[in-house]
């Protein structure tokens, strides 16, 4: 997923829960779907950040040599400015970009 193109709000937004509830018919089921998607997004962001930071990592055993790496700082600032994974998950869910299913209903 391209997190740079996310349309999710960066700040806190008061939301009407009815559109979220209407997706599944049950608010609590919707929250479970949202939390699982937010966890997936969080893991993806962390993995992507780690890969980018490793490119600029310096491996020194000397504790006296501590220096700033401008590239790492800029990358970290960019990821800190992204919307939170929960906001991204809500935005995807409300805009029908999340595929979810109930395995119990498939067995019937």
Give percent above pLDDT 90 in the chain. Answer: 27
**Cα–Cα distance for residue pair 2/97, rounded to 1 Å:** 13
Confirm whether 61 is domain-assigned. Answer: no
Confirm whether 13 is domain-assigned. Answer: no
Flag whether pLDDT at 58 surpasses 70.
Answer: no
Q: How many domains does the chain have?
A: 1
b vs e for 84-99, b when ≥16 Cβ sit within 10 Å of the residue's Cβ? bbbbbbbbbbbeeebe
Confirm whether 80 is domain-assigned. Answer: yes
The distance in angstroms from the start CA to the end CA of the chain is 33
Global pTM reads: 0.78
Confirm whether 75 is domain-assigned. Answer: yes
Domain residues for the domain of 101 are 34-56+67-108
pLDDT of residue 70: 80
Confirm whether 11 is domain-assigned. Answer: no
């Amino acid at each position: 997923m391209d997190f740079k193109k996310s349309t999710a709000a960066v700040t806190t937004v008061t939301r009407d829960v009815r559109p979220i509830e209407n997706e599944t018919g049950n608010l609590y089921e919707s929250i479970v779907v949202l939390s699982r998607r937010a966890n997936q997004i969080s893991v993806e962001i962390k993995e992507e950040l780690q890969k980018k930071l490793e490119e600029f990592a310096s491996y020194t055993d000397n504790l006296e040599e501590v220096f700033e790496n401008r590239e790492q700082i800029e990358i970290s600032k960019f990821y800190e400015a992204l919307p939170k994974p929960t906001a991204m998950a809500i935005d995807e869910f409300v805009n029908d970009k999340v595929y979810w299913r109930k395995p119990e209903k498939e067995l019937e």
